Structure 1
Amino acid sequence: MQRLGLILFIAAASFTDAILTDFGLRLGSIGEANPLMLWLYQWNAIAFFLLKLSLPLLLLLVIPKLLSKVLQNLLYLTSAIYLCILSLHGVWLLEQFTTI
């Protein structure tokens, strides 16, 4: 069950990242750091969103069959990376919409 929670968190974080990235790109306030995702976004924003959501959800099919400790640690690492990415989006939003 813990693994399912991590996968669902990663999926939610990935989709939130996609929404905030789209918002920032439309405002011209941020850039997409991943060149492949930038290309996909410029080609088709819907495809960008679908990929951002589908990759973590594919984990639901693959991970339950794999019980490795390494995979569990990779899920933790991925969650931590998404927390950092979402924190960067939070800082960007604060800078964008507050006057200091």
Structure 2
Amino acid sequence: MFDSIFTDFGIRNGHITEANPFMRFIYENNIATFYSIKIILPLLFMYIITKFQPRRYLQILIGGALLLYSFVLLQHLFWMSLLIG
């Protein structure tokens, strides 16, 4: 959820641009859909991890996606700290 809020804040205030062309298109056309996708995908990953015993390759892919989400969140926190500081 923080990723979507920080991204929206950064785009609205001209601090960042959405790097993902697909998400940029969605953001420009429907912000509610943008928020929905940004929130639902991580929840879906967590659901898959807790409800299913995924095969090894899926564990690696899901772990990589969660690591990427974490990196993006840290990047958002970094540029937010530059704006505040």
TM over 0.5: yes
Distance in 1 (CA, whole Å) between partners of 2:36 and 2:16 is 21
CA contact 2:42–2:66 (8 Å) conserved in 1? no
- Per the alignment, residue 12 of structure 1 pairs with none
**RMSD (Å) for aligned C-alpha atoms:** 1.7
Number of aligned residue pairs: give it: 83
TM-score of the superposition, structure 2-length normalised?
A: 0.83
Q: How does the TM-score come out when normalised to structure 1?
A: 0.72
- Secondary structure of 1:25's aligned partner: helix
- Quickly say closer, same or farther: Cα 1:89–1:74, change in 2 above 3 A: same
Match status 1:47 vs 2:33: yes
Ranges in structure 1 where 5+ consecutive residues have no aligned partner = 1-14
Which structure is higher in RCO with an 8 Å CA cutoff and minimum separation 6?
1
Q: 1:31 to 1:77 in 2, by over 3 A?
A: same
Cα deviation, residue 22, structure 1: 0.3
Letter in 2 for 1:42: E
**Equivalents in 2 of 1:79, 1:58: separation in Å?**
11
2:14 is matched with which residue: 10, 14, 28? Answer: 28
Deviates more, 1:77-86 or 1:63-72: 63-72
| C-alpha distance in structure 1 between counterparts of 2:74 and 2:43, whole Å | 22
